[in-house]
Chain A
Amino acid sequence: MEIIIEIFKPSILIPWLLSMAFGVLVGGTPGLTATMGVALIVPLTYYMEPLAGMAMILGVSFTSIFTGDIPATLLRIPGTPASGAAVLDGYELAKKGRGMEALSLDLLCSAIGGFIGVLLLMIVAPPLAKFALKFTNFQYFWLGIFGLSMSAVLCAGRPAAGILSAALGLLVSTVGMDITTGLPRFTGGNMELLEGVGFIPAMVGLFGLSEVLKNVGSEDLLKKRSIPEFGKISIIGTLGTIMKNKLTVLKASVIGTVVGALPGAGADIAAWVAYGMEKKTSKNPDEFGKGSIKGVIAPTSANNAAIGGAWIPALVFGVPGDSITAIVLGAMLMYGLRPGPLIFQENLKLVHGVFAVGLASQLLLIPVGLIGIKVFGKILSMPRNVVMVIVLIFSVIGSYAIRNSYFDIYIMVAFGVAGYLLEYLEIPLPPLILAIILGPMIEGNLRVGLVKTRGGIGEFIFDPICITLILLILFVFFGGPLTRLLKRKVREE
């Protein structure tokens, strides 16, 4: 009780609310990431009490991950990388005039997912973090391949096209300085490519510019409003939908928390895995990607749940779960705290404060998120020809802002044109973008693992977790056709 009164003190509540408003702006603006938002807010918290600083970091994280879904749903441009999976069905619903329905569902699922994530953080933090820390290079390698397989096979529906897209993305991820030897690969002597192909410009190009090119190619599309009908918010109606799909919300939130707790796998991967799992286990997998309600619920519950998950290894062992918690650890050191097991003895009140702020942030997310939807909805529901130009300008500044680089704008343009052509040829884009994210993790773990085993591949396979992951990957590829074959046999008999 004491801690609840503590977190609602004006010295904590006011900066906390301001940071949430800031999170709405960061998340809703394509090109600005939640990580960037947290990085920008940390210096402001230097002179504050640690709990106020932590409240601001949590506030930015939860709101920006949610508001990233607003342009993803209305424009098909993810506001943050974690909203990549939310594009698929959210945008389809918006095209059908059900944008508000998708976003209000998204908002409540984000709040519920976030709540479950923090709750699990409180309950299972120590054992889960221990499990994640024990993951070996081989297990991480297979985990990466599993995430990619889910996206390549399930999101595309055509494995050959999905594999091609993922392989191209992995190839893009090899551009730049080699992670182990420092050798420049495929840079053509360009210094700006030494750091690799920027993920943000590539994502903005693939999802933003390609969509603009598709729209300006049709006179009919240009005459339409950017969102046919926005619809109305109905919290009660949305709650009804959530009740009907409560298992999906729960399952996605748990998946999001577990994936978020694995170091290196953040909210973006959590959302893809939850989406893939939901599609795989759905009775109507064909509806996914065409405006499925479950296709909105799964990724949006998971990405916010992953935030709580990522705090598990960060808080308990001092190992960041994602890039945001890496900054959090830096901030904790700045406040004079020691992240790791000792924090539970030395600063137990602060830990309880973080838990309380995490839970209460989900309640505050609902009114703040509704304002965000209204504001961004108004901006984004203008005539399509106007919106397309705005999207282009934001795509340019979003690509430029990460490194203040003109080269990144050219990267965005190149990926936009490539994305347009690939989509025309029915090659799905999500596996490509996910492969760019996962590429360094997959390659790094594969090579380090092979060095450890001196080239032997036995350790890559003969391990209970590796075998489980390999079986899951095989199931992703062959589960569908095998099930159909078995069903046909049963019917024939």
Chain B
Amino acid sequence: MKKTLRILLGASIILLALAVTIVSSSFPGAVVAGRKIPGPAFFPVLLSIILVPSGLYQIAAGIKTQAGEGGWSFGLGAANGVIIVTALVAYVLLMDVLGYALSTVMFSMVLLLRLKVPFLKAAVISLVIAGFIVAVFGRVFLIQLPAGQLGLPW
């Protein structure tokens, strides 16, 4: 897994560097008093020049990596990782509809139950966290928490 990912990372970095160079070439040049000066493309292109050998190095390191060599176990519990990322995206979308407090309670409940926290404990924790954030961020720091489209107070 690590071997493949490292080679993929190296290749992605080289592609990124090429993309940056192509996009940067469309930036207009900067001219002051009739003289060309380093414009908006200068620094990104300079970085691309550093990124290409870095990408090649990663590919070479990937080829040298023994198959099956791993850091922490990438595959184990990967489902939890996917669920968390999906839940985070859903949480943001829900916030816009249900408001901050309700969506936070739901998000927290779903994840706590998935991570094997007993139902009652999960419910109490979810309510306490949502209440704490609404009080501290909403009341003390006066941060405008999402109200949602249902018109509920946060």
Give the B-binding residues of A (Cβ under 8 A). 25, 29, 32, 40, 160, 163-164, 167-168, 170-171, 174, 178, 180-181, 183, 185-186, 209, 212-214, 216-219, 222, 383, 385-386, 388-390, 392-394, 396-397, 400-401, 404, 406, 409-410, 413, 416-417, 420-421, 423-427, 443, 446-447, 450-451, 454-455
Contact = CB atoms under 8 A, between A and B. Distances in A.
Given A216-B77, A425-B2, A392 B27 contact: no
Given A218-B77, A404-B143, A447-B38, A409 B92 contact: yes
B82 to A, nearest CB: 10
B76 A385 contact: no
A216 B80 CA distance: 6
B47 A170 contact: yes
B129 A218 contact: no
B150 interface: no
B42 A385 contact: no
A424 B107 contact: no
B133 A217 contact: no
20 contacts: A32-B141, A163-B50, A164-B54, A183-B27, A185-B24, A213-B81, A213-B85, A217-B73, A222-B116, A383-B117, A386-B125, A388-B115, A389-B108, A392-B88, A392-B107, A393-B108, A396-B92, A397-B133, A446-B43, A454-B35
B63 interface: no
A424 to B, nearest CB: 6
A167 B71 contact: no
Contacts of A385: 112, 115-117
Interface in B1-32: 2, 5-6, 9, 13, 16, 20, 23-24, 27-28, 30, 32
Nearest to A160: B57
A180 B115 contact: no
B32 to A, nearest CB: 7
Would you call the interface of chain B mostly helix, strand, loop, or mixed? helix
Contact of A410 (B6, B78, B92): B92
Given A40-B141, A386-B112, A393 B107 contact: yes
Contact of B88 (A160, A185, A409): A409
A390 B42 contact: no
Contacts of B92: 396, 406, 409-410
B98 to A, nearest CB: 14
Contacts of B23: 186
A337 B84 CA distance: 51
B89 interface: yes
Given A209-B88, A219-B77, 11 more contacts: A167-B47, A216-B80, A217-B81, A386-B112, A386-B125, A396-B88, A397-B133, A423-B71, A451-B37, A451-B38, A455-B38
Contacts of A406: 92, 95-96, 146
Nearest to B143: A401
B99 to A, nearest CB: 13
Contacts of A446: 38, 43
B44 interface: yes
A454 to B, nearest CB: 6
Please indicate which of the listed interface residues B2, B71, B81 has the most CB atoms of chain A within 10 Å of its own CB: B81
Nearest to B46: A446
A90 to B, nearest CB: 20
Contacts of B39: 181
Nearest to A423: B71
A199 B6 CA distance: 26
A423 B71 CA distance: 9
Given A217-B81, A404-B143, A417-B85, A450 B137 contact: no
Given A185-B27, A217-B80, A218-B77, A389 B112 contact: yes
Nearest to B54: A164
A446 B27 CA distance: 18
A183 B24 CA distance: 11
B83 to A, nearest CB: 8
Given A180-B30, A218-B73, A443-B43, A25 B96 contact: no
